Structure 1
Amino acid sequence: MNQYNKDILEYKSIKELMNLKKMQVLRRKNNLTQAEVAMALGVSASSVAKWETINTCPRAELLPTLADLLHCTIDDLFGRGKEETQ
């Protein structure tokens, strides 16, 4: 079992697994506002803000569109990709 799988077993929720603080960096890197991301995904701007502060998570079906919008992979959203965001 690799380290990532071991880490997954220790997480209590998907919120802890997703590195959504990285989402904010990716959003800004792409010169997008929370409102623009929200409009593209059909959610409220407050939902995007909550994702970025890890209060809630996006629905699974939104992840491919979110990754496309932020020009990254779903793995990047989970902190598993090689995308450099800092």
Structure 2
Amino acid sequence: MTTLSDPHVVMIRPVTPTPPEGCAECLQLGTPWVHLRLCLTCGHVGCCDSSPLKHARQHAATIGHPIVESYEPGEDWRWCYVDENYV
């Protein structure tokens, strides 16, 4: 479900999850995560805001890719970190 009123939806691209097995930074650091988020601009897989290090939000803030979708099995939603809203 995409809300066309969010101006950031133009940044959504076809992506390949990188890395597909989990949060890129947590895997490097050996730290745990709670849930995973997929950047819909570049495919970065990061951990959610409930995770200790919140790498998906950090990626959005530092790289400027605002929209993620859940990378959890059975979940189908997207979130914009800039507008703090579902898209």
TM-score (norm 2): 0.28
Larger Rg: 1
Higher strand share: 2
